[in-house]
């Protein structure tokens, strides 16, 4: 009985959000009367049809690109960020390099990456990785830097070496911030994904959307947009779930 209510407490706001979005969309399509904004029902029907066709394949390619990129970015940025946050001397040396390169919009390197790395998955993954890397790096480093020194002192007094400090203090202490940066990184990665997939490729959800647009098949284009949105939503939910499990101490 209890869990039904608890489930309902979570699903109800989600359901109403979906309904509100659909109504807004429907009103918009009624008002605009433009073929570029088809009514939601048409788009959903088209989504159903596309799911029987080649949409899943495109989604799969995009999912692969996103997951590999986020994994690589995390695997590089978290250790480096923790290291710089723990060692202020190294951080002062690295800071100029980070601050000079951080604000440069990495997408401008896309043409170069395409030339150097080819039009396959590698160039796309490198670009998304690069962008997510900076977001995670800066957040992780700041979290490690601001970690309460009391924790470090008390654990060192128990006999902890550097490695123990990373394992018992820095990594778990920064994990909430790391997961937050991953969620932000996911948003950016999705945006960049769309961009890189509309360029010199025949695969991916970005291509699917743009291809439908060029064929003026707006229902199918919206099917692609919905599918991309759902993919982001599911990934976001997974990160949320991971945060709840890994950082149980915050949620008590």
Partner 1 sequence: MKMNNDYLSIKSLKVEYMQNGQALTALESVDLSLPQGKTGVIIGPSGCGKSTLLNVLAGLNPRYSGRVMIDGRTPEGGGETALILQDYGLLPWKTVWDNVILGMQLRKKTHRATKTAAEAVLDKLGLLPMARRYPAQLSGGQRQRVAIARALILDPKLLLMDEPFSSLDALTREEIQDFLLKIWEETQLTILLITHNIEEAVFLGQKIFIMSPCPGKIEQAVDNIMAGDYNLRGRVQFLEMCSFLRSFLHRRGNYGMGA
Interface residue with partner 1 among 168, 184, 187, 211 (CB under 8 A) is: 168
DSSP string, the chain: -HHHHHHHHHHHHHHHHHHHHHHHHHHHHHHH--TTS--HHHHHHHHHHHHHTTHHHHHHHHHHHHHHHHHHHHHHHHHHHHHHHH-HHHHHHHHHHHHHHTTS-GGGGHHHHHHHH-SSHHHHHHHHHHHHHHHHHHHHHHHHHTS-HHHHHHHHHTT--HHHHIIIIIHHHHHHHHHHHHHHHHHHHHHHHHHHHTSS-S-SHHHHHHHHHHTT-HHHHHHHHHHHHHHHHHHHHHHHHHHHHHTGGGG-
Minimum gap (Å) between residue 250 Cβ and partner 1: 8
- Quick one: which of 155, 213, 226, 231 contacts partner 1 (CB under 8 A)? 155
Which C-beta is closer to partner 1: that of 176 or that of 232? 176
Q: Say what angle helices 205-214 and 171-197 make with each other, to 10 degrees.
A: 30
Which residue, 33 or 251, is less far from partner 1 as judged by CB?
251
Binding of partner 1 at residue 249 (CB under 8 A)? yes
Q: State yes or no: residue 147 binds partner 1 (CB under 8 A).
A: no
Using CB under 8 A, pick the residue from 175, 178, 179, 192 that binds partner 1. Answer: 175
Please state whether 39 falls in left (phi above 0), alpha (psi between -120 and 50) or beta.
beta
Instruction: In angstroms, give the least distance from the CB of 150 to partner 1.
Output: 4
* Single residue of 172, 183, 200, 232 touching partner 1 by CB under 8 A: 172
Residue 242 near partner 1 by CB under 8 A: no
Query: Does the protein bind partner 1 through residue 89 (CB under 8 A)?
Result: no
Closest distance to partner 1 from the beta carbon of 173 (Å): 7
Does 232 participate in binding partner 1 (rule CB under 8 A)? no
Considering CB under 8 A, how many residues would be counted as binding partner 1? 20
Pick one of 43, 137, 169, 178: the residue that binds partner 1 (CB under 8 A).
Answer: 169
Pick 152 or 226: Cβ nearer partner 1: 152
45 binds partner 1 (CB under 8 A): no
* Chain residues in the site for partner 1 (CB under 8 A): 148, 150-151, 153-160, 164, 168-169, 172-173, 175, 247, 249, 252
């Amino acid at each position: 009985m209890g869990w039904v209510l608890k489930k309902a407490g979570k699903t109800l706001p989600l359901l109403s959000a979906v309904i509100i979005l659909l109504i807004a969309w429907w009103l918009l399509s009624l008002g605009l009367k433009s073929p570029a904004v088809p009514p939601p029902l048409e788009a959903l029907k088209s989504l159903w049809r596309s799911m029987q066709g080649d949409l899943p394949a495109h989604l799969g390619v995009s999912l692969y690109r996103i997951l590999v990129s986020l994994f690589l970015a995390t695997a590089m940025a978290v250790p480096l960020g923790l290291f710089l946050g723990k060692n202020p001397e190294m951080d002062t040396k690295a800071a100029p390099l980070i601050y000079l390169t951080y604000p440069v919009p990495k997408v401008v390197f896309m043409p170069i990456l395409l030339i150097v790395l080819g039009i396959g998955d590698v160039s796309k993954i490198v670009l998304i990785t690069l962008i997510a890397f900076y977001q995670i790096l800066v957040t992780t480093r700041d979290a490690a830097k601001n970690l309460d020194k009391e924790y470090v002192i008390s654990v060192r007094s128990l006999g902890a070496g550097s490695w123990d400090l990373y394992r018992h203090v820095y990594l778990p202490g920064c994990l909430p911030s790391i997961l937050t940066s991953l969620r932000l990184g996911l948003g950016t990665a999705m945006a960049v994904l769309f961009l890189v997939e509309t360029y010199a490729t025949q695969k991916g959800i970005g291509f699917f959307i743009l291809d439908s647009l060029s064929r003026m098949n707006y229902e199918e284009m919206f099917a692609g947009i919905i599918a991309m949105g759902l993919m982001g939503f599911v990934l976001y939910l997974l990160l949320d779930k991971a945060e709840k499990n890994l950082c149980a101490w915050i949620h008590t």
